[in-house]
């Protein structure tokens, strides 16, 4: 471009062309309404809005990162992620052929939708749940139906006793934080032996028993877990599925038809180091549970109401204060929580459990507003 005038002229022409093209191309384009992640402010705030872990990853992760041989980055990583799969298999007492790893559980879940929800029948997931399920269903053109949680925000298991093309729900559910025990999950499985049931256990380590123990008895079960919450590694992007070898093989077939090298070399070594440090994991997880139980008492004293939280977050509303206003008031004080302007939950805030100190700052602000 030689001068300003001709540059503007070119830009204007390009914009016009794009508009004309858009109309003609629309029928070829896969359009979708995307998932909206929580804000990731780049300034220092008290961040209680995306359920990250307030503690750093296990010390071994830092060490592993230091020891990485950058010369090796010229090579592709191991497509089977063998080292990571092995430690996970050992940790969960299953075979190596029963683990599938991906780039965060979002990647694993997206692959599961593509692989297992492949009929014309409607898949089922709750009306209030992880909002990504709807996005994947729309993206892949999978029909779906969303049975309503009851008035206490519990999943009604009888709603899943009907013809369907597959089922997915988180346990604990998000954003309600309600955990249902393994017998509840088993009832849903028992009524749906001919379709695949995915249990998204992103928060299971803060809650109770995992449905992994049902895997040998139900060949239609897939359990998905993540390193993003209890392992303090949301930034590394590692998630995994546990199931029987046959379903894991179908999942791998789809993965190898999409992107063979999902887990990069850094994720491999850091993931292995994180799984190996069981003691650190148990310690940080129990800190968060302790802080959560204390925070529940504090919230109740301030008049908040919430379902019994078994995840690393609490889903709370105040009968006297508007959730949108509370959200803004907290944000002004540099405290970020999550709020959705959607039906049934617009008066609720989802508050991630941070460190004790972070939660004390939250309560200092809430006490000023709510007393």
Ligand X SMILES: *Cc1c(COP(=O)(O)O)cnc(C)c1O
Q: What residues make contact with ligand X under the rule CB under 6 A?
A: 51, 104-106, 130, 170, 174, 200, 202, 226, 228, 234, 239
State both tokens at 121. 């029948």
Neighbouring residues of 80: CB distance < 8 A, sequence distance ≥ 6:
none
Q: Which lies closer to ligand X via its Cβ, residue 98 or residue 226? A: 226
Q: Which lies closer to ligand X via its Cβ, residue 254 or residue 302? A: 254
CA 274 – CA 303 distance, rounded (Å): 39
State both tokens at 231. 């392992």
Residues in the chain: 371
State both tokens at 298. 């504090």
Residue nearest to ligand X (CB): 104
Q: Which lies closer to ligand X via its Cβ, residue 106 or residue 180? A: 106
As measured in angstroms, the least distance from the Cβ of 322 to ligand X is: 25
As measured in angstroms, the least distance from the Cβ of 331 to ligand X is: 21
As measured in angstroms, the least distance from the Cβ of 76 to ligand X is: 23
As measured in angstroms, the least distance from the Cβ of 202 to ligand X is: 4
Q: Which lies closer to ligand X via its Cβ, residue 228 or residue 284? A: 228
As measured in angstroms, the least distance from the Cβ of 176 to ligand X is: 11
Q: Which lies closer to ligand X via its Cβ, residue 129 or residue 244? A: 129
As measured in angstroms, the least distance from the Cβ of 104 to ligand X is: 3
Q: Which lies closer to ligand X via its Cβ, residue 204 or residue 366? A: 204
As measured in angstroms, the least distance from the Cβ of 106 to ligand X is: 3
Starting at the earlier edge strand, list the strands of the sheet with 167-170. Answer: 99-102, 239-242, 221-226, 197-200, 167-170, 123-124, 144-145
CA 287 – CA 308 distance, rounded (Å): 18
Q: Which lies closer to ligand X via its Cβ, residue 269 or residue 311? A: 311
Q: Which lies closer to ligand X via its Cβ, residue 98 or residue 228? A: 228
Check if the beta carbon of residue 306 is closer than 8 Å to that of residue 316: yes
State both tokens at 366. 């809430």
Angle, alpha carbons 80-285-364 (nearest 5°): 130
Q: Which lies closer to ligand X via its Cβ, residue 231 or residue 318? A: 231
């Amino acid at each position: 471009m030689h001068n300003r005038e001709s540059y503007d002229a070119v830009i204007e022409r390009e914009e016009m062309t794009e508009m004309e093209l858009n109309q003609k191309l629309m029928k070829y384009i896969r359009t979708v309404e995307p998932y909206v992640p929580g804000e990731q402010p780049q300034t220092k705030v008290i961040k209680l809005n995306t359920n990250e872990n307030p503690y750093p990853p296990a010390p071994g992760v830092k060490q592993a990162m230091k020891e990485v041989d950058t010369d090796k980055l010229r090579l592709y990583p191991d497509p089977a992620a063998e080292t990571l799969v092995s430690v996970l298999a050992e940790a969960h007492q299953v075979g190596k052929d029963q683990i599938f790893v991906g780039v965060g559980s979002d990647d694993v879940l997206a692959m599961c939708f593509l692989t297992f929800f492949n009929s014309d029948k409607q898949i089922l997931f709750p009306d209030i749940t992880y909002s990504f399920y709807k996005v994947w269903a729309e993206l892949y053109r999978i029909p779906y139906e969303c049975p309503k949680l009851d008035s206490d925000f519990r999943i009604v298991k009888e709603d899943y006793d009907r013809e369907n093309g597959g089922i997915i729900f988180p346990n604990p559910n998000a954003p309600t934080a309600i955990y249902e025990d393994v017998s509840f999950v088993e009832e849903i499985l028992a009524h749906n032996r001919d379709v695949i049931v995915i249990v998204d256990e992103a928060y299971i380590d803060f809650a109770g028993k995992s449905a992994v123990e049902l895997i040998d008895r139900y060949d239609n079960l897939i359990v998905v877990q993540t390193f993003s919450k209890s392992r303090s590694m949301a930034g590394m992007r590692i998630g995994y599925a546990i199931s029987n070898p046959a379903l894991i093989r179908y999942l791998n077939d789809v993965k190898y038809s999409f992107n063979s090298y999902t887990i990069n070399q850094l994720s491999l070594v850091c993931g292995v180091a994180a799984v190996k440090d069981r003691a650190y994991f148990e310690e940080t997880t129990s800190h968060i549970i302790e802080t959560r139980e204390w925070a529940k008492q504090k919230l109740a004293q301030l008049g908040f109401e919430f379902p019994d939280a078994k995840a690393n977050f609490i889903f709370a509303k105040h009968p006297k204060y508007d959730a949108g206003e509370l959200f803004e008031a907290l944000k002004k004080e540099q405290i970020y929580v999550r709020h959705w302007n959607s039906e049934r939950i617009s008066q609720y805030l989802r508050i991630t459990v941070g460190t004790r100190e972070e939660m004390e700052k939250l309560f200092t602000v809430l006490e000023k507003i709510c007393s």
